[in-house]
Structure formats: structure tokens, C-alpha cells
Amino acid sequence: MDGEMDRYSRQVLFPEIGSEGQKRLGESFVVVIGCGALGTVIATTLVRAGVGRIRIVDRDFIEYHNLQRQVIFDENDVRSQLPKAVAAERHLKAVNSSIEIEGVVTDVNYTNVERLVEGADLILDGLDSFETRCLVNDASLKLGIPWIYGGAISSYGMTMNVIPGETPCFRCIHPKLPSSGMLPTCDTAGVIAPAPFIIASLQSTEAIKLLVGAEDVSRDLISVDVWQAELTRFKITARPGCPTCQGKFEFLEARSGTRTTSLCGQNSVQILNPEGSAVSLDELASRLRPLGEVSQYEFMLRFLVDDREMVVFPDGRAIIKTNDESLARSLYAKYIGI
Ligand SMILES: [Zn+2]
């Protein structure tokens, strides 16, 4: 047996995959959106399983409090101030150099989601934002690409496959957007690592099933509580009047989409560059140096002024340490001023 098939030999022995299933995995293109606790487990599982092409999209950089549950990252990544998508690409290329792995550092929003998932066989959800999930749901149904929802918090989580034209969609089960601050977050409720791990494992299993063409993919909403060791399956039905199922893609078409977002778990506000154009970190650094403390890295610039911390990325996106969105907007206008 040559090296490449030997790599997958134990998985090929599993009859539901076999050599035909392995070949299909190798020909598949998967996009993982969000590379936190869920996304790292999904990405490492699918890279090791031999999915031929994997794109990992994430907007954040790695912090110490991520290491408790975000399995592919380490302390060096925190010290190097690496974006999660870049660190994921580097680590996973060392795991499997025979497939194509691409990390993309960006915020997923209505301007770019279709481009990011175009041509994919499957989208995996590693997000922490309800609104962005609705956007992914829109893109999935519009482009006819299945996606696998997953979410975890505290000791529990949920997952569900959304297969356009076959299953109910995310908005069938969530007709209304929760008002901001109403949902618990990892920040307010905490999270133990096994909860996202088990949800991501279920998502990865369903991903492999969908990619190899298994007939018994789940059509249920699956809920797991690891502390109670409970798994529950819920039958779900399409909701009459669901806008997305009727081809109304409200989140994709929200041309005035959110430019300012509070970030889950970070006591931070993200601001997108309203012009959508790139910035030169070198120029910005020399402009800001007389005003405060500037640390420049390969993929970002950190700026400290009056006890306020700002991180700026080359696409003009900034993350500002505060809970106050209007303060964040004014700091952005004052110092970054795009
Ligand atoms: Zn629907």
C-alpha cells in the first residue's frame, strides 16, 4: 500500500466509507466558517480524514483564554499574535501536506459570504453569531450548498444538517432574531471544552456522511448535554412562511448590514472598514506612533492610547476593547479614520 492510501487505511476499513468513499472525500471542497472551539475540531478532523480542499475562515486572533478549548492552537500562536485562520493553516498543513488548506482572515458578512463558499460541496458552522448563521443559511439555500449548523455553550450544544430542497432550514426553527444581549454567550455562561468537542464531532461525522454520499444522514436537530451525558433527537419540520425557504434572502440582501458588532467573549467591538479597501499597516503605524504605543505584526497592528486598545487588520477592520459601540466608532474615526 502506498503512503497516501496507508494514511487513510483505518478509515477505508470502515465499510461505510471504503475506498470509494475515501476517493470522494479527496475530491471534496469544504468551507469551515469560524475557527474557535467547534471550527478547530472540525478542521483537524476533516484534514486528517483527507478532505481534498479545505478553506478555514475566521476574523479573530488567538488569545490565552482560547487555549482551554481551541485544540489546534498553542502558546506560541498567542505570543506570535497570529490570526486563527493563519495559525490553523500552518498547523494543519503540517498534519496533512497532501491536501489543499487555505486560511482566510476576514469577517464573514453579506458582501463576501457568497464568494467565500462558492463552489463548495459543504459548509461547516463554527460560528458564535446567530446573525452570521442566518447569513450562511441564506447563502446555502441560494447557492444550493448544504451546511451543518453547530453551537455549544456551558455544557450543552446542538447540531443540525441543512440540505437545501431536502430538509427544513435554520430559519424554519428560528423565525425571529433574538434581540442582542438576550442570548447567553461563552462570556456570560462559560463553556467546558467537551461540549463543543462533541458537537463538532457530530458535525464532522455528518460532514463525512454527506461527502461520501451516505443515505442515513441526520434529518433531526440533535441536542447534547455532556454534563448530564444526554443526547436527544428532535424531529423538525419546515415552517410554512419561512422567508429563506421561499427564496427571500433577507440577510444576504441587507445591504445596510451591521458594520459594528460586539464580539462574543471578548469585551470588544468590531468595526468594518466602511470603504472596504485595504490599509497599509506600515503607513498607519508611522501615523499612530507619535500618539501612543504601536506594536506591528505580520497580520495586524496593535495600538494602545489612553488605556484603550485597538487592533487593526490589513482590510481596515478593527477590534476595539470596549463594550461601548459608540465609543468604539468614535475611536475608529479618530485614530484609523477611514
Ligand atoms: Zn426555512
Give the span between the Cα atoms of 261 and 129, in whole angstroms.
10
Ligand 1 mean position, distance from CA 337 (Å): 40
Q: Above 50 in pLDDT, residue 237?
A: yes
Q: Pick the catalytic residue from 186, 242, 245, 264.
A: 186
Exposure of 10 by Cβ count < 10 A (0-12 exposed, 13-18 middle, 19+ buried)? exposed
Instruction: Give the mean model confidence (pLDDT) for residues 39-52.
Output: 98
Ligand 1 mean position, distance from CA 164 (Å): 9
Among the residue ranges 182-186, 189-193, 207-211, 280-284, the one predicted with the least confidence is 182-186
Ligand 1 mean position, distance from CA 198 (Å): 26
Ligand 1 mean position, distance from CA 136 (Å): 13
Instruction: Quote the pLDDT of residue 257.
Output: 45
Instruction: Quote the pLDDT of residue 307.
Output: 85
Work out the mean pLDDT of the chain and round it to a whole number. Answer: 90
Q: 269-304: per-residue pLDDT in tens? A: 888 876 556 788 898 898 899 889 999 988 889 999
Ligand 1 mean position, distance from CA 172 (Å): 4
Among the residue ranges 57-66, 94-103, 252-261, 263-272, the one predicted with the least confidence is 252-261
Query: Quick check: 243 and 171 in contact, CB under 8 A?
Result: yes
Ligand 1 mean position, distance from CA 241 (Å): 8
Instruction: Quote the pLDDT of residue 100.
Output: 98
Give the span between the Cα atoms of 314 and 317, in whole angstroms.
7
Ligand 1 mean position, distance from CA 97 (Å): 39
Give the span between the Cα atoms of 21 and 2, in whole angstroms.
18
Residue 75 main-chain phi, psi, to 5 deg = -65, -30
Q: Is 242 annotated in the active site?
A: no
Give the span between the Cα atoms of 120 and 235, in whole angstroms.
27
Give the span between the Cα atoms of 283 and 314, in whole angstroms.
11
Instruction: Quote the pLDDT of residue 256.
Output: 42
Q: Above 90 in pLDDT, residue 330?
A: no
